[in-house]
Structure 1
Amino acid sequence: MWILKKVLAMLLLMNITVKFTEISTFYSLNLNNKNTTNIAVLLYKFDPFMSSLKQSLEAIQKDNSDKIKFTFFDGKNNIALQNETIDSISKNDFDLILANLADTSENFVEDIIFNVRSKNLPIVFLDIDPKVVYKVSKYYDKAAFILANSDLAGTVQGKILVNLWNSNKSSLDKNNDNTLQYVLLHGQAKDPVTIDRTKYAISTISNSGINTEQLALVNANWLKSLSKDSIESLFLRYDGRIEAIISNNDAMAIGAVEALQKYGYNKGEKSKNIAIVGIDGLPEAKSLIDKGFMAGTVIQDPKVLAEVFYNVGMNLVNNLSPIENTNYNVVDGEIIVPFPYEEYIKK
């Protein structure tokens, strides 16, 4: 009997110890979750610029390892996939969503807002059309919208070609008709960034007094591969008439370089060169510019965007105004990313 009582006592002690450990672990996990802000980052695609943005956010996490944790989701430029991902994120233990969407239409953005609102989950959107923001922003006070100043990016890009025309016109106007014949490589058709970069790049050139003629507009959807295939075809179609290629981003500009190099162009020989300008300031684009294979790019530092994403998001998590303790400007309901757009050309 004494032995049985001893065994029962030991079992009881073990059970109490296990329960105590479980409770301690539970409270420990809750404490960690409480102290750490779990942030879901949904990017429309891991293209070169978005990959750089991811690296910049990871650097912020490294500096705040005891405060935040980013989890990244690749939207693969697939609307259905992004919708499923948003739904999954809203059901899990996240405190904030940072979202760059494949579909920025009013209905899609509205659906996402209603989804996260039901979970009281803050969200920060990137590059939504101001007309859409005007309609959907009233639905949820924990949704914020940030937008790149694409007007300025397009203007700086246009100035690169204006300066090249004014300093070395013969390098551009190869047929001596006093008109710049160009091909435009377009991002996503309804993306406000695409629209503004295009509008201001072309208007800057035209307003400087240079005559322009658009030979073709290619909807390459920000993609290097689509750009490369399109320029290979257009080069043959226009048989030497293309004098410049204006690209909404560097990835498409790099694709254009590779396409032209297939025909022996843009390899360093001045007589066989077409001026190509991009936007982003990607390292690969800078290297091509240094070699004389591209005319220039506009630097758009992903670190700046990462900081805005993070600062605005954390303000929402802490129930503050999205621009609390910042110097960000708000235009038409959107927080403007303060990129210090600078040209990058061969020195």
Structure 2
Amino acid sequence: MNFFRRILAFTFIIIFIVVTLTSPSPKAITTETNKISRTPIRAGVLLYFFEDSYLLLLKKNLEDIQKENPDKIEFTFFDGKANPAIQYEIINNMINDNFDLLLLNIFEAKENTLQEIINKAKQKSLPLIIFISTIPNIDIVKTYSKLAFIPADTKEPAILEGKIIADAWNENKKAIDKNGDNILQYIMLKGKTDSVLSNSRTKYSVESINTLGIQTEELATVSCNWSRQIAKESTRSLFIRFGNKIEAIIANNDILALGAIDALQGLGYNKGNKLKTIPVVGIDALPEAQELIKKGYMLGSVFHDPSTMADAIYNIGLNLVSGKSITSGTDYKIDPSGVIVNINFKEYTIKTLSEISQ
């Protein structure tokens, strides 16, 4: 009897070992279904430059999302140091580092480089989001089904920036049009001369003012390399040159606008006296710019909410990893390409504060 019990026990052990060895591992299941089964999802995040004020706000919002969802997502951040060569090296390492999701902010990638990145991600069936970046060729981003693109809109924020100036002109033309010639004399603070984003914002902000029926005259355009200090020094030099001829300052982003405010306040302007205030506009609505707008020291900015952007990156990322459609369970709008998601911009002025806070 004991002999038969031993035979039966031995048989069960053999069966258990065979089933264990021949059953597919969780890793194999993941490979076959192309879905990530482990949690939290490991997401590698490349940011163009850690010293960029807007990207720092975005990073903080992503970190807050991780704190609220520790069982769902784990972000690892990489600093691209505003250097394309460094960025592409980091991306290659990220692709080989067993991340479940890649989130890339590569700003203005060349067409062949972007195609190479997409091809490498595609080879590993690695979900990919490229965000706040320009698109060299729409066809490239349509070649991979696990890719979503949240572009750096080069047109809409510039149009809104121009509208802020035009609205102020129409409401208080007498105060702005100092020489009474019915023409808005302005200076333009550009990011970079060879930047697609900078050139587009420069073009469409002025076109927007003209489209709204206001004539403009460019007194000067200065490339500031996205530097607050350079913007400050340039504005000071231009003020010494043009003085009260300057009726508005249009900046490609808030960093440059803040540099302009620094210079003007050093010269006794934009401190609350409406008779000594030059309208300054920017893009991003950074917290410091928001405070200046509330005080009346800065005319306005274009709000690109980092919290909304972080939520979009997180939700779309989860969808891609789980094999769902890009906008599944969200209110985001996708364009006809099927991969591009646009995040709306809003005017940030004293008049629109109540709308934005809702």
Do the two structures share a fold, i.e. TM-score over 0.5?
A: yes
Q: Please give the secondary structure, in 1, of the residue aligned with 2:340.
A: strand
Among candidates 179, 183, 192, match of residue 179 of structure 1: 183
2:147 is matched with which residue?
143
In structure 2, the partner of 1:266 is: 270
1:181 shift after superposition: 0.9
Aligned-partner SS, 1:238: helix
Structure-1 residue corresponding to 2:319: 315
Tell me if structure 2 keeps the 8 A contact 1:299–1:344: no
Contact between 1:82 and 1:102, CA under 8 Å: does it hold in 2? no
Q: State the partner residue of 1:283.
A: 287
2:129 — aligned with what? 124
Distance 1:220 1:108 in 2: 27
Mapped to 2, the partners of 1:275 and 1:151 lie a distance apart of 21
Measure how far apart 1:295 and its partner are.
1.0
Bigger mean CA deviation after superposition, 141-150 or 39-48: 141-150
1:262 CA displacement:
2.5
Is 1:74 aligned with 2:102? no
Q: Distance in 2 between matches of 1:212 and 1:186?
A: 17
Instruction: Identify if the C-alpha distance between structure 1 residues 192 and 320 changes in structure 2 by more than 3 Å, giving closer, same or farther.
Output: farther
CA contact (8 A) 1:328 1:335 kept: no
1:257 maps to 261
1:336 is aligned to 2:345: no
Counterpart check, 1:42 vs 2:38: no
Choose 311-320 or 150-159, whichever is displaced more.
Answer: 150-159
Classify 1:107/1:188 alpha carbon distance in 2 versus 1 (closer, same or farther; 3 Å): farther
| Residue aligning to 1:9 | none
- Alpha carbons 2:108, 2:134 under 8 Å: kept: no
| Aligned-pair CA distance for 1:135 | 3.2
Deviates more, 1:327-336 or 1:236-245: 327-336
Give the deviation of 1:195 after TM superposition: 4.7
Distance change >3 Å, CA 95–CA 148, structure 1 → 2: same
Aligned 1:150-169 pairs, distance under 5 A = 150-169=154-173
Displacement of 1:300 after TM fit?
1.8
Map of 1:201 onto structure 2: 205
Q: Which amino acid aligns with 2:132?
A: D
1:301 correspondence with 2:326: no
Q: Which runs of 4+ in 1 moved over 4 A?
A: 188-193
Q: Given that residues 134 and 152 in structure 2 are in contact (C-alpha distance below 8 angstroms), is that contact kept between their aligned partners in structure 1?
A: no
Q: Any conservation in 1 of the 2:105–2:132 contact (CA below 8 Å)?
A: yes
1:19 aligned partner: none
Matching residue of 1:113? 118
C-alpha separation between the residues in 2 aligned to 1:88 and 1:341?
A: 37
Counterpart secondary structure, 1:171: helix
Of residues 219-228 and 279-288 in structure 1, the stretch that sits farther from structure 2 once superposed is: 219-228
Aligned to 1:58: 63
Matching residue's letter, 1:134: I
Shift of 1:328: 2.3
2:91 maps to what in 1? Answer: 86
CA-CA distance at 1:128 after TM superposition = 3.7
Distance 2:312 2:124 in 1: 24
Q: Give the drift of 1:327.
A: 2.9
SS of 1:62's partner is helix
- Asked if the contact 1:182–1:246 (Cα under 8 Å) also holds between the matched residues in 2, the reply is yes
Once residues 228 and 102 of structure 2 are traced to their aligned partners in structure 1, the CA distance between those partners, rounded to angstroms, is 28
Question: Structure 2: how far apart are the matches of 1:121 and 1:226?
Answer: 41
- 1:270 positional shift: 2.8
Distance 1:117 1:221, change over 3 A: farther
Identify unmatched segments of 5+ residues in structure 1: 1-26
SS at match of 2:140: helix
Q: Deviations over 1:112-166 (max 9, x none)?
A: 2233233332211123434x24231244322221125554322332222112111
Moved more, 166-175 or 145-154: 145-154
Equivalent pair of 2:190/2:202 in contact (CA under 8 Å)? yes
* CA–CA separation in structure 2 for the residues paired with 1:324 and 1:290: 37
Is the CA contact 1:149–1:339 (under 8 Å) kept in the aligned structure 2?
no
The two structures, once aligned, show a CA RMSD in angstroms of 2.5
Aligned pair in 2 of structure 1 residues 106, 182: CA closer, same or farther (>3 Å)? same
Q: Which runs of 5+ in 2 are unaligned?
A: 1-25, 27-35, 354-358
CA contact (8 A) 1:152 1:341 kept: no
Mapping 1:20-39, distance limit 5 Å: 34-39=38-43
Distance 2:326 2:94 in 1: 21
Matched residue type, 1:159: K
Percent sequence identity over matched residues?
Answer: 44
Distance 1:189 1:98 in 2: 27
Deviations 1:244-297 (A, max 9, x none): 111122111101111222322222333332110112221111111222221112
